[in-house]
Structure 1
Amino acid sequence: MRALLLATTLALPAAALPAAAADLPVRSVTLSNAGLMQVEHAGALAPDAAITLRVPLDSVDDLLKSLLLRDPAGRVEEVRLAAQDLEAEAFHGLPLRPGDFESRASLMRALRGQAVKAGGAEGRLMDAEDTEAGLRLTLLTPGGLRLLLLREGEEVALADAALAGLIARAAEAMAASRSADTREVTIRLSGATAAREVGLTYVAAAPLWKPSWRLVLPDAAGQARLQGWAVVENRSGADWEGVRLSLVSGNPAAFAQALYAPVRVARPEVPVRAAERVTVEADTGPRPVPAPAAAMLATAARAKEAGAPPPPLAALPEAAADSAAGRVAFTLPRPVSIRGGETANLPFLDAALPAEPLWWVQDLSARHPLNAVRLANATDRVLPDGLAAVYAAGGAWLGDAELRAMPPGEQRILAYARDREVQVTTANQDGERPTGITLRRGTVVIALARRAETALAIDPRGARGRLAVDLPRREGWTPLFPVVAQGDFGLRTEAMLDGAAATLRFAWERAMEREVPLWDAGLGDPRLLRWRDIDLDAQLRRLPGGPGTLEALRSVLERLPAEAPGRAALAEVVESLGEARRLLDAARTAIRAHALAAAALERARAAVEDRSGAAKEEARRRLTEASLAAERSGAAADAAWEAWQRQVQAVMSRAG
């Protein structure tokens, strides 16, 4: 496509910005693990100069939110920058669009109807065509249409000077939008009469600085060497040349707000009402529920030291630490230079920390414990989160571990491998034992101590050392083992292994109660219950003295300690229930005898109906005997039942 070489005269308004501007260099950068950076610019500024700086577009909101200016002599007038959608705003209201600048002919066609001067003629621009000979224009003049052929370097001037100025600004905006990922911010100051040192600070989003650690373990319990490195990325949009770099670890509150984008308040739109459309989803049938995926088990082999010992570790330059308000800042001892877009790995800590190797059981279902080390933070600063590459004293890499933020004086266990030479087996069992008895309203209340136990069988195969075990916290249960720490991991206990296979037992206990009713309230008042109104065999387990309750209470009595409260009262209840069992059995025997007598009576009645003569008289005699026998057996059953009822009342009176 041919370049646009045709000149167009455009009137420009006078500039509103100060005559001079200065870029203040970056003096210091503070990177936070909250994903923020505090950038400080400083330098000398002339009395009539403004401050300019280029900021990435995605940092403009943060700059507008947090900009802080320092000036010993001047005062702040304003902070200006181009609109967020610079190109769209510049072309707003113009008769042309950015695509019209593709060629001189398309630009002229976009201005059709405008009054212009070209080639010594004046008129309204009707059409334009790019030819080999030059730009052919069609003008509407007072005398009619006039065709002009303009050659390179000839001028077309708009009669509307204001429109010419707007088009010039649009062209500038289009050029500026070629770097749409940054914005130039101009800060105007006034009141100063001489050059002075000024500065500005703002906080913006930034990639996290990422600490990584190198942990060299001692041969046994002693001092471990911990070296800290920080991965730093410069995404500020400016080079850092000799800046003071600080690395902050903390937990600040940080918010983002769209201050740069135009905000338009949406109004509710009232729709045109119509009949509601009815939609129906077709039934596609049930879908199978996926089974849960199996957990994956990661394992790592233990590294072995071999060969001659390596040279001692190189010392790292130590950053100065400053703790305040829940944060710690590591300021590097020497200025740092990092070009925009570069990544650097910078050392900031070299410390000797007390360390103890140990085994660690986090997952009770795992067959092997973890190799781990307990570190104590003997420094005066918080050690931030990060991954640690763990090495043996001889230089062999053992694995990686995660170090969570550790304040001074605290300890952390870091696991870096799984010890496949040590076997672990876990078993669980539950049980309970009675501890006391209370009698309450016809109910025996049994106080129980419920016990849950986890047994850990471990074979260290001759190795000696400390074992840390993390056990789940049980709400309402009391641990019967020593707890050395509590946290998100649950309860932590420890034991020393002497090389031999051992079984460690960890028990919890919880107080509970169990109620054993002596009478089923669903049967009503025991004094009014009649044996003729119930199916005795079907309801036998619900009756005092029936099977179940007596055996359960006898079992409790046998397991109850002699000094347990309420034991004597329970013994009396068991004795009374035993007597109720005897009387209930007697009542059942009498009731069965009455049932046999009643059946014989029915047979005798049937015989009287079937016979005649002398045989009928004999049948009547036998009917009289059967009737008397039924009366006697019924009275006996009533007496036996009433004896059982009186015993039930005695049992109930003993139970409160």
Structure 2
Amino acid sequence: MRRALLLATCLTWPALAPAAAEELPVRAVTLSNAGLVQIERGGTLAPEASITFRAPVEDIDDVLKTLVLRDAGGTVEGLRLPAQDLETEAFRGLPLRPADFENRVALLRALRGHPVEAGGAAGRLADAEEAEAGLRVSLITPQGLRLVLLREGDQVQLADAALAARIARAAAALAAARTADERQVEIRLGGATAPREVGFATVTGAPLWKPSWRLVIPAGEGEARLQGWAVVENRSGTDWEGVRLSLVSGNPAAYRQALYTPIRVTRPGQPVRAADQPRVEADAGARPAPPPPAPMAAAMAPAPRAFRMAEAAPPAAEPLADLPAATAASAAGRVAFTLPGPVTIRGGETANLPFLDARLPAERLWWVQDLAARNPLNAVRLRNAGDRTLPDGLAAVFGAEGAEAGAYLGDAEIRAVAPGDQRLLAFARDRDVQLSAASSSSERPVKAEFRRGVVVVGTLRQEEVALAVDPRGGKGRLVVDLPRRPGATPRFAVAAEGDFGLRHEAMLEGGPQTLRFGFEREGRREAPLFDAGLGDPILLRWRELDLEQNLRRLPGGPDSLETLRGVLEGLPAAAPGRETLAGIVGGMAEARRLLEAAHGAIRSYAAAEAALGRARAAAEDRTGAEREEARRRLNQASLAAERAGGAADAAWEAWQRAVVAVLARTG
């Protein structure tokens, strides 16, 4: 007997580890600020060789989506890698499970019923157990049950070679699953007859490279020094030895797709058809006819210190060492900085590498972003005088001259700056410069328009923000950002517009001054001549109206005339509609006079009616001579009431004629 306990014929996986397979070295790495890395591998490949490399499981989807192969002398046959769930797929259809590899007894018991050879005997495996002398195996043979004692080095061999090979692959998969965070990928090539240069690239997710800036600024207007450093992390699982490293800034559209995950499409189930079962209702006999429906009811109707411009200050010594310049290339909203020399970053390391050293036009200034702030921000305006976009990043700001030379002044955020563009970078608050803001508004009429019974007054609303600034001797530029006011037109010089709103710039000369920011907004309001809820005043009858309660609602009533007079007084002499409005005001004054007269006449009529009622009651209570006197007084009261009613009618009609004339002016 052989000296090995043979449980499988092979422990390798030929489909994934061919004899001729090479892992090509990393030649170039491109990191993107979108969280992507493009890794390019290349080298000389023998004609019969395939390419292998390892990749994290989390990157396999991206590998399958982005792999690009360069091979001038061969053809691509395909890519192979283990299934995502190694254990599940390797053990699918096998009579054993991963837990059965815990010990030899568990493994043999999982193979019960399969034909084997053990200890010189052949039969179907019935059981296995540990004994003091060794491993006792029970076999079922044509002659019956046979017990075989196996000592160390004896073998158990499966009679089914295909099953043995599958178990060998399952064992290999079980070993590979212990490093389940990686997969080995094989790219199979063919058709080559000689060694040749082969390369391939993949794009996968990665920590984005992070630019950090060092900015040295002048005291006033001059030149700033901007140095860029890139924080780079190698989380690819592979060392980068002497690679060409490029840093890309752009906004690519990047997606993830589950290409490595098996996806099964759910299909609708279709039942097995059987003959229809007839349904029969039993006859329960005749029933009375149902009563007719009740008639429907009718439908109801639905109810630091202030800086100063430098005066012939001597130039300060350069505080920063020169950096090697990266090669920059731009295309379609994308800029790539390629470092000048090879870079080595081992897997798991973080590096901080210089990639930019530029001199940019700069101007120190104060910046007001919040009008309620007590002090402005210390800031610098930079202009990108180069031909490449500067990517986003955080800049540590240092001074270049005087007491600030070499001193850290603060941090400033840089948003992407295209060639020729400029940015304001705030890095501190200047507590020596004082600010105070106040707001006011006023409104005046500028025109009048008319429609029947209504004067439409066009207004111009003026809104102002006043900003008092005391620079305490400081001289320089002040930039103020104000929010837009929808519907309002700014009446001050606007230097720029953007997400910040409206930008204004002014020069401070050392002393206190006030900046005023005005806005104008057109509006309109209506001044009705009467309350339309009463109806047309021409059709009103005073006898049907409670005049005391509704006097203010009538043309010429209290308040309406005063409102129109106020509008007329505020209108400029040449304002559109002023002449017509003056006529309306005159007509309303006459209507006021006539309404007051009608009001008095109606009150007199009410008094006469009251006297008539008393006289009528007195005539009914008297007898004899007193009764005759009461009747005489009744006649007099009746005549007086009739005359008072006629006077009230006349006064009301006079008022209505005046109202007709006023309404005719409004159209």
**TM above 0.5, one fold?**
yes
Q: Which amino acid aligns with 2:103?
A: S
**Size of the alignment, in residue pairs?**
621
CA distance in 1, matches of 2:592, 2:306: 72
Residue equivalent to 2:650: 639
Instruction: Evaluate the alpha carbon distance shift between residue 64 and residue 524 of structure 1 in structure 2; reply closer, same or farther with a 3 A threshold.
Output: same
Please tell me whether the aligned partners of residues 8 and 168 of structure 2 are also in contact (alpha carbons under 8 angstroms).
no
Q: 1:373 aligns to what?
A: 380
How far 1:9 moved relative to its partner? 4.8
Identify which range, 500-509 or 210-219, moves more after superposition: 500-509
Which residue number in structure 1 is paired with residue 300 of structure 2? none
Partner secondary structure for residue 8 of structure 1:
coil
CA contact (8 A) 1:422 1:460 kept: yes
- From 460, 469, 476, the equivalent of 1:449 is 460
Q: 2:378 touches 2:430 (CA, 8 Å); kept in 1?
A: yes
CA shift at 1:571, angstroms? 0.9
Please name the residue that 1:388 is paired with. Answer: 395
Given that 2:12 and 2:169 are in contact with CA atoms closer than 8 Å, whether structure 1 keeps it comes out as no
CA deviations 1:211-236 (Å, max 9, x no partner) are 11111221222111111111111122
State the partner residue of 1:617: 628
Q: Is the 8 A contact 1:9 1:155 kept in 2?
A: no
User: What's the CA shift for 1:11?
Assistant: 6.0
Mapped contact 1:18–1:188 kept (Cα < 8 A):
no
Q: CA–CA distance in 2 between the matches of 1:237 and 1:143?
A: 59
Counterpart residue number, 2:443: 432
Conservation of the 8 A alpha-carbon contact between 2:557 and 2:595: yes
Q: 1:33 — aligned with what?
A: 33
The aligned residue for residue 276 of structure 1 is none
Pair 1:630 & 2:641 matched: yes
Q: Does 1:96 pair with 2:109? A: no
Flag the 1:18–1:11 CA change in 2: closer, same or farther, 3 A.
closer
Aligned position for 2:292: none
CA displacement, residues 496-517 of structure 1 (integer Å, 9 cap, x when unaligned): 2223333322122122222222
* Residue of structure 2 in register with 1:193 after alignment: 193
Q: Partners of 1:40 and 1:397 in 2: how far apart?
A: 40
Pairing of 1:159-558 with structure 2 (within 5 A): 159-268=159-268, 312-393=319-400, 394-558=405-569
1:60 partner SS? helix
Which whole-Å CA distance do the structure 2 matches of 1:149 and 1:428 have between them?
103
* 1:237 CA displacement: 2.0
- In 2, distance between residues paired with 1:9 and 1:405? 62
For residues 111 and 563 of structure 2, the distance between their equivalents in structure 1, rounded to whole angstroms, comes to 104
Give the residue type in structure 2 aligned to 1:347. P
- Tell whether the 8 Å contact from 1:13 to 1:165 is kept in structure 2 after alignment: no
- Alignment partners' CA distance in 2, 1:495 and 1:209: 39
Distance of 1:437 and 1:14 partners within structure 2: 93
For 1:574 and 1:480, the matched residues in 2 are separated by 34
Equivalent residue letter for 1:114? H
**1:371/1:74 CA distance change after superposition, 3 Å:** same
Q: Secondary structure at the match of 1:202?
A: strand
Say which of 553, 578, 586 aligns to 2:597.
Answer: 586
Task: After superposing the two structures, state which structure 1 stretch, 512-521 or 221-230, moved more.
Answer: 512-521
Whole-angstrom CA distance in 2 between matches of 1:47 and 1:646: 113
Distance in 2 (alpha carbons) for counterparts of 1:70 and 1:531: 101
The residue type paired with residue 317 of structure 1 is P
Residue 10 (structure 1) aligns with: 9
Letter in 1 for 2:252: P
In structure 2, what is the Cα distance between the partners aligned to 1:409 and 1:352? 14
Q: Distance in 1 between matches of 2:578 and 2:538?
A: 28
The amino acid across from 1:315 in the alignment is D
Contact preservation (8 Å) 1:62, 1:256: yes
Q: By how many angstroms is 1:13 displaced?
A: 10
The question of whether the paired residues in 1 share the 8 Å contact of 2:471 and 2:508 is answered with yes
Question: How many angstroms apart in 2 are the aligned matches of 1:270 and 1:460?
Answer: 84
Tell me, in whole angstroms, the C-alpha distance in 2 between the residues paired with 1:94 and 1:219: 79
3-state secondary structure, aligned to 2:549: coil
Residue 345 of structure 1 deviates from its aligned partner by: 0.8
Q: How high is the TM-score relative to the length of structure 2?
A: 0.89
Consecutive unaligned residues of structure 2, counting only runs of 5 or more, are 272-303, 308-315
CA offsets 1:322-371 (integer angstroms, 9 cap, x no match): 00121000000111000111111111111111222222222233333222
Give the counterpart letter for 2:344 in structure 1.
Answer: S
- CA offsets, 1:562-619, max 9 Å, x none? 1111111111111111111111111111111211121111122222223333333222
Letter paired with 1:120: G
Mean alpha-carbon deviation: is it higher for 572-581 or for 628-637? 628-637
Partners in 2 of 1:5 and 1:541 — Cα distance? 117
Q: Find the counterpart in structure 1 of residue 606 from structure 2.
A: 595
Contact 2:8 2:167 in 1 (8 A): no
| CA shift for structure 1 position 69 | 1.0
What are structure 1's unaligned runs of at least 5 residues? Answer: 272-300
Per mean C-alpha deviation after superposition, the further-off stretch among 331-340 and 252-261 is 252-261
